[in-house]
Amino acid sequence: FLARDHFGVKPLFYYYDGKRLIFASEIKAILKHQIKRELNWRQINLFFHLLYSKGPETVWQKIYKLPPGHYLRWRRGIGLEIKKYWQLNSSAPRFGNIEEIQENIRELLRSSVARQLVADVPVGVFLSGGIDSTAILGLMAERTRAPIKTFSVGFKVDQRNFEKFNQDAILARLTAGRYNAEHYEVMLGPEEVIQHFEKVVWHMDDLVYSPTQVANFVLAKLARRYVKVVLGGDGGDELFGGYRRYYYYWWYQHLRIIPSWLRGSAAVRRLFEFWGQDKAVNRLNLEPQELHWSFMSQKDRLLNQVLRPDLQKFTLNAKQYFYQDGLFNQPLEGDFVNKMMIFDLKTWLPDFSLARTDKMGMAVGLEERVPFLDKHLADFAMQIPSRFKIGNASGGKKVLRQALRGYLPPEIYKKDKSGWITPTAKWIRGGLKDYIQEVLSDSFSQEDGNLIDWQQARRLFTQHLAGRVYAPHIIWSLVTFRVWYKMFKQI
């Protein structure tokens, strides 16, 4: 009997071929057994489009992720059965008064933080300079007089770009000062990326690429010197509408009532351009699946230059697999924006975001706990109408921001949502250039599974260096794949 937590904070993999059941928290532990190793080309195609593989499949045939909120049972003579034991309450939204909603958010988050603080060791905080982690620090400070240890990461860039790429680190220092926290910071540059990158790929196990992976790793290493447990703000964006794409989903939901012939008219286009929303009008005529794909996927025009035809042909199949969730059967009924948040909670959050933070923490023996992913708070959040969550294109999480205002310095309360901006594109043209050239070269590996045209990959890299195309994520995903392939084919 196996079970995975409600949101997939912790990974759980299993192999089943009808005869043997092997399970572990890491794929590499399963690969140590004598099993037939076959790549799942559909998932590798998804990795290059979305930068992660979507459960329950992995990039290996017959190796699966147990979905969040599910259990697995094997019985002799019956075999394997997988069943859901919990799902997010997505019933009709509550149309309560805004003050009551805000009070409930505060109390539910306060209770969750209190539960997550139960430990026999000191607990620190990953402080990002955003609403979520700042509120967690504020709620922790209500419960202790001792200085709380906080941790953040900044990026080594030239002085002209320092504030752009270190806004979060600067705000984290400010917040730590407000709460008299014991604050620690690590700075990451191209040298550290090269130093740690292959360790990061090894510990990530499954194919996942994020510009912040190495940042997560060095941050976890820093924190582990002082604490064994940290709290983090994961889940706040997915529950309360923090990502910019939710703002465009909100427009989409309301403007789909306009007849299709009118949505594409010059008058409507001029109106949106006047509002500064020309991106929104360009997407109005897409179907919901294509709308989501347009925000999440890398450009086919560039990817098809480097993916070999046998891998390219899996694109349609990969998209069908990705969107097989019943949510897309009747997507525009009810609250479309909340539905899209739920979809991200089932896909992006466990397979990308939580996988990254948990595995980088576990690599150094650090446990991250996530107060926002309390099932009571999450259920309540999904019953709040999205109109209370969506602000403008720059600043989402409206109701959360208002509910937690008392814990937020003015600089953070008023701050636009920016995400964790990393200087990956600049580093690719600078300090990472030689390393990338080495990995993309024929001398790095003679075996590639006939999946990638490495000559075209080198050409794309040259075009990026010359400024003719902008493809940092595709380039770094190619580097990730080649390092991963060489590493894991030899286990």
Q: What is the pLDDT of residues 421-443, one digit of tens each?
A: 789 989 999 999 999 999 999 88
Residue with tokens 């906080």: 150
What number of other Cβ atoms are within 10 A of residue 331's Cβ? 18
Share of the chain above pLDDT 70, in %: 92
Q: Which range has the worst mean pLDDT, 248-262, 334-348, 397-411?
A: 248-262
The CATH 3.40.50.620 portion of the chain extends over 98-240+345-421
Q: What are the pLDDT digits (tens) for 95-104?
A: 668 999 999 9
Measuring CA to CA, which residue among 70, 73, 72, 74 is closest to residue 84?
70
Residue with tokens 């007849």: 259
Average pLDDT over residues 229-253: 92
* Mean pLDDT value across residues 337-355: 94
pLDDT band at 394 (very low <50, low <70, confident <90, very high): low
CATH number of 98-240+345-421: 3.40.50.620
Interval 73-88 mean pLDDT: 91
CA-CA-CA-CA dihedral for 92, 97, 103, 104, to nearest 10: -20
pLDDT, tens only, 204-218: 999 998 778 999 999
Confidence of residue 193 (pLDDT cuts 50, 70, 90): very high
SS3 of residue 2 by DSSP: strand
Work out the burial of residue 387: count CB atoms within 10 Å of its CB; fewer than 13 is exposed, 13-18 middle, 19 or more buried.
Answer: middle
Q: Which residue has the tokens 């607990």?
A: 123
| Sheet containing strand 70-75, strands side by side | 2-3, 70-75, 79-84
| Burial tier of 18 (Cβ tally within 10 Å: 0-12, 13-18, 19+) | exposed
Per-residue CA distances from 94 to 5, 102, 180, 227, 397 (Å): 26, 13, 38, 40, 17
Evaluate whether 417 touches 128 at the Cβ level (below 8 Å).
Answer: no
Residues 476 and 212: their CA atoms lie apart, in Å, by: 12
Note the pLDDT of residue 335. 87
Q: What is the mean pLDDT of the chain?
A: 90
DSSP string, 57-103: B-SBTTEEEPPTTEEEEEETTTEEEEEE-------SPP---HHHHHH
**How far from 466 is each of 36, 129, 424, 429, 477, CA to CA, in Å?**
43, 34, 16, 9, 19
The vertex-208 CA angle with 204 and 211, nearest 5°, equals 100
Q: How many CB atoms lie within 10 A of CB 208?
A: 24
Residue type for position 173: R
Q: From CA 420, how far away is CA 353, in angstroms rounded?
A: 12
Backbone angles phi, psi at 163, to 5 degrees: -65, -40
Both structure tokens of 227: 């604490």
Amino acid, res. 27: I
Structure-model confidence comparison of residues 490 and 381, the more confident one: 381
Q: Residues 409-429: what's their mean pLDDT?
A: 82
**pLDDT-based confidence at 278, cuts 50/70/90?**
low
Q: Phi then psi for 400, rounded to 5 degrees?
A: -65, -45
Average pLDDT over residues 288-303: 91
**pLDDT attached to residue 272:** 66
Q: Give pLDDT tens digits for 88-140.
A: 877 766 666 899 999 999 999 999 999 999 988 999 999 998 999 999 999 99
pLDDT recorded at residue 271: 67
Burial 177-195 (b: 16+ CB within 10 A, else e): ebbebebbbbebbbebbbe
Cβ of 317: how many Cβ atoms within 10 Å?
Answer: 13
Closest CA to 483 of 207, 223, 236: 207
As given in the structure block, the two tokens for residue 477 are: 């995903």
- The mean per-residue pLDDT over the stretch 158-176 comes to 90
Range 142-156 average pLDDT: 94
Report the C-alpha gap between 45 and 312 in whole angstroms: 7
Residue 367's contacts (CB-CB under 8 Å, 6 or more residues apart) are: 228, 229, 230, 361
The pLDDT score that the predictor gives to residue 261 is: 66
The CA-based dihedral angle spanning residues 469, 312, 296, 248, taken in that order and rounded to the nearest 10 degrees: 90
Q: How confident is the model at residue 393 (pLDDT cuts 50, 70, 90)?
A: low
Instruction: Name the more confident of 449 and 190.
Output: 190
Q: What is the pLDDT of residues 23-66, one digit of tens each?
A: 999 999 999 998 988 999 999 999 999 999 999 999 999 999 99
pLDDT of residue 274: 59
